[in-house]
Amino acid sequence: MTIMTPIIARRPLLRAGAGALVAGLARPALAAPALPATITLDWRISGYHTPFFVGLDRGIFAREGLELKVNFGTGSRNTVLAVASNNTTFGLADASVLPAAALQGATVKMFCGYLLTTSFGVMFKRASGIQKPKDLEGRSYGDSPGSATYGLWPAFAKRSGIDISKVKLVNVSPAAMNSAFIDGQFDATYTAMNGSFITLSHRGNDLAAFDYADYDLGLMSLGMIATDATLANKDLVRRFVAAWRASLAETIADPARAAAVTRTANPDAAPADELIEMMADTFKKRIVSKATAGQPVGWMAPEDWAFTARMMAEYGGLRDRVVPESLYTNDFVATA
């Protein structure tokens, strides 16, 4: 795949504070040369990506001895491929794509969770008259084959009582999805509640959505991934996790500043008010699950992984089941 040009933010000194998440994470500045590393995101810049740019701007990754570069992504599946082929050190990808990747031979694991409750949902226009999931029958639903959401749509349909045979499925490329939906080429489509739903709503569209997390589909979502070979470099990975957690704490402490920093590094990013709203949804509803309450940031619950793997086996078109424990490791995140 083609990796986008890295984006490197400014790196002033880390300020003190930023709450309990930072406590005990930062190590003294290192005299040795910084270790180079790259991370490829799942998609273009959204509100939940802001911690990476805060960490670069505040010098947090540099203090951990890392020279980090951030690359745009073109979907979680492509990010997994980039990691598996050693085109990037780390990746940010959706947990739902890892079972299929493992069955195809990718030796990639998630080593630090981020969005531990999925932000995916189904959006539609309020004027459509859709008020409950059952109202989608007789309508059309647009999605992209091979996407993380493609396999979740039938799972949502089953759990919410939709007869999926009565919904017309329209296959659309990810790049054209939102514009096709707004133009009325289909009645509903997938959305990220902390991403495209907010962006399109701010563009003057009167939208509503069914949040998967409200329909007993609280699957795991985004987290940091790496190959087994990279994970064997424990010092490198631990430095990254420590810097990431400190960067997240800084972002949560001051979302307005995080939005400004992100827009400075990425002028094409959404306006600051949208980024702040995206962060509000992310930090309030997504970075923990019921099973991870009280655990350190990044820790992943075995039951969440088991549920995610089971859902993808049942609805993701997988021929074989995957042992959930092969998809992740908590070795770099201590338990409470």
pLDDT tens-place string over residues 72-97 = 998 898 999 999 999 999 999 999 89
Looking at the fold, whether 230 and 258 belong to one and the same domain comes out as yes
Closest CA to 288 of 276, 297, 275: 297
Given 215, 238, 259, the domain boundary residue is: 215
Kindly state whether residue 317 falls inside one of the protein's structural domains. yes
Q: Let me know if residue 189 belongs to a domain.
A: yes
Q: Which residues of 161-176 are buried (b: 16+ CB within 10 A; e: fewer)?
A: ebeeeebeebebeeee
pLDDT at residue 11 is higher than 60: no
Does residue 17 lie within any of the structural domains? Answer: no
Report helix, strand or coil for 288: coil
70: left (phi over 0), alpha (psi -120 to 50) or beta: beta
Give residue 123's pLDDT: 98
* Residues 155 and 166 grouped into a single domain: yes
Give the domain-ending residue among 215, 250, 284: 215
Under 8 Å between Cβ of 66 and 35: yes
Domain final residue pick, 172, 195, 215: 215
| 233 shares its domain with 304 | yes
* SS3 label, residue 265: helix
Q: Are residues 101 and 243 in the same domain?
A: yes
pLDDT band for position 16 (cuts 50, 70, 90): very low
Contact 64, 94 (CB under 8 A): no
Pair 317, 178 in one domain? no
Q: Specify whether 206 is located in the same domain as 235.
A: no
What would the mean pLDDT of 244-264 be, rounded to a whole number?
A: 98
How far apart (Å, rounded) are the C-alpha atoms in residues 166 and 138? 5
Is residue 149 over pLDDT 90? no
User: Are 228 and 112 part of one and the same domain?
Assistant: yes
Query: What does each C-alpha distance from 84 to 1, 68, 70, 105, 332 come to in angstroms?
Result: 11, 19, 17, 9, 20
By three-state DSSP, how is residue 224 classified?
Answer: strand
Q: Is 227 inside any structural domain?
A: yes
Residue 157 placed within a domain:
yes
Structural domain includes residue 3: no
For residues 180 and 232, state if they share a domain.
no
Instruction: Burial-class residue 57 by CB neighbours within 10 Å (0-12, 13-18, 19+).
Output: buried
What is residue 315's predicted lDDT score, i.e. its pLDDT?
A: 80
Q: How many domains does the chain have?
A: 2
Closest CA to 11 of 54, 57, 65, 66: 57
- Same-domain check for residues 108 and 230: yes
In a domain, 333, yes or no: no
In-domain check, residue 185: yes
Share of the chain above pLDDT 70, in %: 90
Query: Is residue 124 domain-shared with residue 197, that is, in the same domain?
Result: yes
- Is residue 231 located within the same domain as residue 315? yes
Q: Is the Cβ–Cβ distance between 266 and 7 less than 8 Å?
A: yes
Query: Is pLDDT of 155 > 60?
Result: yes
What confidence score (pLDDT) does residue 67 get?
Answer: 97
pTM: 0.86
Q: How confident is the model at residue 6 (pLDDT cuts 50, 70, 90)?
A: very low
CA distances to 261, 292, 300 from 324, rounded to whole Å, are: 37, 16, 12
Can you give the residue range of the structural domain that contains 42? 35-117+220-326
Confidence band for 220, pLDDT divided at 50, 70 and 90: very high
Tokens 């996407």, residue located: 147
- The domain that holds 196 is classified in CATH as 3.40.190.10
Q: Does 154 share its domain with 301?
A: no
